[in-house]
């Protein structure tokens, strides 16, 4: 069962995403800040990371750069899940190596389809 790490400073969002991911057959864990996320990705080696961009201290852009710049984590796909709808953010994260860019509020079906596609499980 693929393991997914949700990184979002909104605890309720983490809980809701976790429920939907588990209902779809994935294991899910969550981190509420960037420092915890770096530690968790290195320790757990998840199959996929769902990453919010707007977080305090270490934002999603910095985390994505760190994940993609480290040989130990660069192959882990990252789906950005954010409230940012501007084209600049989309282009920036895609150029940095994000596998997908989804905007909040997210439809559960859209999330599960993206996760399945990125993990190579079809849609």
The CATH number assigned to the domain holding 14 equals 3.40.50.2300
- Does residue 100 sit within a domain? yes
Q: Token digits for 67?
A: 């994940």
CA distances 87 to 2, 22, 84, 109, Å, are 30, 31, 9, 23
Q: Are 54 and 81 in contact (CB under 8 A)?
A: no
Number of domains in the chain: 1
- Does residue 21 sit within a domain? yes
Q: Domain range spanning residue 16?
A: 3-118
Give the HSE-up count for residue 86: Cα atoms under 13 Å, Cβ half-sphere: 5
- Does residue 123 sit within a domain? no
| Residue whose token pair is 């994260």 | 93
Nearest-angstrom CA–CA distance, 123 and 118: 9
- Does residue 51 sit within a domain? yes
- Does residue 80 sit within a domain? yes
- Does residue 40 sit within a domain? yes
- Does residue 11 sit within a domain? yes
User: What is the residue-level pLDDT of the chain in tens, covering all 123 positions?
Assistant: 899 999 999 999 999 999 999 999 999 999 999 999 999 999 999 999 999 999 988 999 999 999 999 999 999 999 999 999 999 999 999 999 999 999 999 999 999 999 999 999 754
- Does residue 72 sit within a domain? yes
């Amino acid at each position: 069962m693929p393991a997914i790490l949700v990184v979002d400073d909104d605890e309720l969002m983490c809980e809701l995403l976790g429920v939907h991911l588990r209902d779809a057959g994935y294991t899910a864990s969550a981190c509420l800040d960037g420092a915890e996320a770096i530690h968790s990705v290195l320790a757990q080696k998840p199959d996929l990371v769902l990453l919010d961009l707007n977080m305090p201290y270490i934002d999603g852009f910095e985390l994505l750069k760190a994940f993609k710049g480290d040989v130990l984590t660069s192959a882990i796909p990252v789906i950005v899940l954010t409230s940012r709808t501007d084209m600049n953010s989309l282009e920036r994260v895609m150029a940095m190596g994000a596998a997908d860019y989804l905007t909040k509020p997210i439809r559960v079906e859209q999330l599960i389809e993206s996760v399945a596609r990125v993990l190579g499980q079809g849609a």
